[in-house]
Amino acid sequence: MSTLTVSVVTPDGPVLEGDYEMVSCKAEAGELGILPGHIPMVAPLTISAIRLKGEGDSNRVAVSGGFLEVRPKKVTILAQTAERPSDIDVDRARMAKERAERRMQNKQDNIDFKRAEMALKRAINRLEVFENKF
């Protein structure tokens, strides 16, 4: 089976580079499955898990939004942050989740609520990627 070269890059540098048979991710327009030979496209990503399937191998990366660029043999994911399960600080993610939940319960103003909601989504995504619940 043919493969795609996948690069996940953040402003701090590359997070993952490899050859995979399929890439699954959540774009703002919905769930995407990318196979070799896919038509070229660019799509904004949501806070979600990038799932990578290879020959007898799979990988996942938690991203906090960004963009996906697809070419027939290459997928590039440009994300503000991207973490492999082994890089996730679980205690920090749990504390961030609890802090965001408290802020959302207080609902002081609309801006704080939106920020807390985004922080909660990022924390839950990190925990789910770490726990392999995607």
Identify whether residues 34 and 96 lie together within a single domain.
no
- In the structure encoding, which two tokens stand for residue 112, read together? 């704080």
Identify whether residues 17 and 80 lie together within a single domain.
yes
pLDDT, position 110: 61
Identify whether residues 95 and 77 lie together within a single domain.
no
Identify whether residues 70 and 95 lie together within a single domain.
no
What's the CA gap between 13 and 90, in Å, rounded? 22
pLDDT, position 109: 60
User: Residue 9 pLDDT > 70, yes or no?
Assistant: yes
- In the structure encoding, which two tokens stand for residue 16, read together? 């993952």
Domains contained in the chain, number: 2
What CATH number is given to the structural domain containing 50?
Answer: 2.60.15.10
Q: Any idea which residue has 């994911």 for tokens?
A: 77
Q: Give pLDDT tens digits for 67-113.
A: 999 998 999 999 999 999 888 889 999 999 888 888 878 766 665 77
- Its domain, for residue 126, covers 89-130
Identify whether residues 79 and 31 lie together within a single domain.
yes
